[in-house]
Amino acid sequence: MRQALWLVKKELKYHYLSLMLTLVFIIFLALLAFPILEGTVLRLFGTEHVVYNRIMIDALFVLLLPCFGAIFMSKPYLSFGTIKEDPYSKRMALFRAMPIPVHVLALSRTFIMVITLLLNITVFYIIITLMLSDVFFQYLAPIEYVLFLLFWFCYALLFGGFNPFIENGTNGKVLHLFPYLFIAIFGVLLFVIYYATGIGLVDWSLLAIREYGFIAPVCAVIIAGTGCYYWNRLLTNRLRTRDYM
């Protein structure tokens, strides 16, 4: 644990600038998200007629939140050169050449993901919360709002937990192709859900929290925690068995 944290500290220090740029982009996303979230709640629980786009709110929460676990405003994500150069694999090859236990390496990648996610999502949530109007909280109680945020944090942790595997267990090509695959799978899933139920996933999460209170976020915490544990195990196995050419 101590060794993994030492690595995390070093890595985050070296990626400080990319992390800051990522946060700037997150602030931009939060400014985009808050009016849509407000519209969602007013339409679901209020009586006013609200112009509302459920695709936008689902796109923001379902597709973008898992990305918060990655420092995505960094060269490997922004440059197509990554496909050829595969910088994450080269970095991992260097670490594997040193006497660092594989489980320490995997744990450090998971910690980096969790810390990045916590940082990004905290900024995202703070901006949204500060920008939401009082009217919003007339329709959604503060405790429901906190549970809603916790639910989506768990969602981000569950799917963002896969990021360390994509970064360090695959190659540059997969790193760039995976987001498109993720968008395609969830795009189809969202379409099916809209078609079948007439509501989006964010709508559904709000309704579930109103209906079941703590149960939905508690389930989410358990699923996300378990998911994170298994992603870490998967990454450990992958780092141990892959070839670093």
Partner 1 sequence: MNVVRVEGLTKHFKKFHLGPLNFKVEKGTAVGLVGSNGSGKSTFFRLLMNLVHADGGTVEIFGKKMPSSEIEIKQSIGFAANMLEPFYQLSIKEISSHFSYWYPSWNQNKYEDLINRYKLDEGEKFGKCSTGMKKKVDFIFSLSHEPELLLLDEPTAGVDLGSQKKMKEDLIEFLEDGEKSLIMSTHLIDDLKQICDNIIILSPNGKVQDFLRKEEVEENWAKFWVSELTEELRCHPHVIKVNDSQHPSYLLTDQKHVVEKELREKGISVISIQRLPLDEIIEFQLDS
99 part of the interface to partner 1, by CB under 8 A = yes
Per CB under 8 A, the list member of 1, 48, 49, 98 interacting with partner 1 is: 98
> What is the total residue count of the chain?
245
185 part of the interface to partner 1, by CB under 8 A = no
Per CB under 8 A, the list member of 21, 64, 93, 146 interacting with partner 1 is: 93
Rounded Cα distance, 163 and 22, in Å: 15
83 part of the interface to partner 1, by CB under 8 A = no
Rounded Cα distance, 12 and 124, in Å: 19
Tokens 């209170």 locate to 213
Rounded least distance, CB 232 to partner 1, Å:
19
Per CB under 8 A, the list member of 43, 52, 91, 204 interacting with partner 1 is: 91
Rounded Cα distance, 18 and 67, in Å: 14
Span of 95-103, 132-140, 204-212, 229-237 interacting with partner 1 by CB under 8 A: 95-103
47 part of the interface to partner 1, by CB under 8 A = no
CA separation (Å) from 229 to 11, 74, 114, 226?
21, 26, 12, 5
| Rg of the chain over all Cα atoms, to the nearest angstrom | 19
- Per-residue binding letters, 142-181, with partner 1 (x by CB under 8 A): ----------------------------------------
> How wide is the angle at C-alpha 86 spanned by C-alphas 85 and 87, nearest 5°?
95
78 part of the interface to partner 1, by CB under 8 A = no
C-beta of 10 vs 185, nearer to partner 1: 10
Per CB under 8 A, the list member of 94, 126, 183, 215 interacting with partner 1 is: 94
Helix (H, G, I), strand (E, B) or coil at 46: coil
C-beta of 122 vs 171, nearer to partner 1: 171
CA separation (Å) from 116 to 44, 64, 66, 194, 219?
32, 14, 11, 32, 23
Residues that bind partner 1 (CB under 8 A): 6, 10, 14, 87, 90-91, 93-94, 96-101, 241, 243-245
